[in-house]
Homo-oligomer: A and B are copies of this chain.
Amino acid sequence: MVERTLESVICSDVAPAYEISMHLLSAGGKRIRPSLMVLSALASGECDPGRMVNLAVAAELVHMASLVHDDVVDETRERRGARTASESWGNKISVLGGDYLLSRAFCILSTDGSPEILRALSATAVAMTESEILQASGEGDLSVWEANYWRIIHGKTAEFMGACCECGAFLTGADSQTRQSLREYGVQLGLAFQITDDVLDIVGNRAHTGKETGTDLAHGKFTLPVLLALTEADEDGSLRGMLANGRLTASEAEEVAARVIESGSVDTARLAAVDRADAAIKQLSDMPRSEYTDALTALAGSVISREG
């Protein structure tokens, strides 16, 4: 139902608005945010299914909008094995296309949301953009990443996933303890998800991830595996020296990735993701067990074991 509703809400008689939206939609995606919202609602009580689906769609649209703008910002050419919108339509239509999707999302939220849901998701949108700006302004600047890595991944990924879970609980009128647990489940799952993303950028198989590896390094984004290697396996400062110049060429990125893998920091980062997934699952322990809490548990597992 989420998939069908996604297709219907992006309809526009302005051809490029519709085409760019359909392109994004048909490229697929894991649909983690709508899944989190729907499963959190079903796990915490009862609600109107139509409203639940619409709000799950709004969450995915907010995410899609951020992806389009990310691809413009990062000059990404490929995502999920397909050309990015910015590569196909150019930056101009892509910037506006992202705005279109975000506006559509707020249209749905203003009809099917509640004040709490609107507040949760719009506060999350502010945190997301702040983190993206921090990330963009810190490209190639190791000190920014050392000081802000956790804030960045909290803001750009974890808070949003937490808000999706919390909004699912708002929909069913769940008590504040349940809302809080589900939110924290989503935040921890989001951290596990993002750390795994950061690991896959270094060791990932292009056939599975659908995007080039090493792009974070090439863009001067220094994520957890790299930061761990710096603190745990760089006594002579040679790795730090390689990162001091900011953006890396493809061959430099390859060399850094090899150093990071060799240092064992990728495994340490993977363990950090496992810890977060465990912390997420622990949040579910006070809730009545159901096929929905089981699905949330399974989701936390799949987020860290995925290869793409």
Name A residues whose Cβ lies closer than 8 Å to a Cβ of B: 12, 14-17, 66, 69, 72-73, 91-93, 95-100, 102-104, 106-107, 109-111, 115, 118-119, 121-123, 125-126, 128-134, 136-137
Contacts and interface: CB of A to CB of B under 8 A. Distances in A.
A17 B130 contact: yes
A189 to B, nearest CB: 22
A126 B97 contact: no
Contacts of A106: 106, 118, 122, 125
B104 A126 contact: yes
Contact of A130 (B12, B72, B129, B136): B12
A72 B128 CA distance: 20
A97 B129 CA distance: 8
Contact of A126 (B107, B115, B129, B134): B107
- The CB with the most chain B CB atoms within 10 A, among A99, A125, A134, A137, is that of A99
Nearest to A69: B95
A119 B130 contact: no
Q: How many copies are assembled?
A: 2
17 contacts: A14-B134, A15-B137, A16-B133, A17-B130, A69-B95, A72-B95, A93-B137, A96-B129, A99-B102, A100-B129, A103-B122, A103-B125, A104-B126, A106-B118, A106-B125, A109-B118, A109-B122
Contact of A69 (B14, B96, B110, B123): B96
A97 B119 CA distance: 20
Contacts of A110: 115, 118-119, 121-122
Given A130-B14, A130-B100, A133-B17, A111 B119 contact: yes
B92 A107 contact: no
Nearest to A90: B136
A131 B118 CA distance: 26
A103 B15 CA distance: 26
Contacts of A17: 129-130, 133-134
A91 B133 CA distance: 12
- The CB with the most chain B CB atoms within 10 A, among A97, A98, A122, is that of A122
Given A110-B119, A115-B110, A133 B97 contact: yes
A167 to B, nearest CB: 12
Nearest to A134: B14
The 5 closest A-B pairs by CB, nearest first: A110-B118, A103-B125, A100-B129, A106-B122, A107-B122
A130 to B, nearest CB: 5
Given A91-B91, A133-B17, A123 B96 contact: no
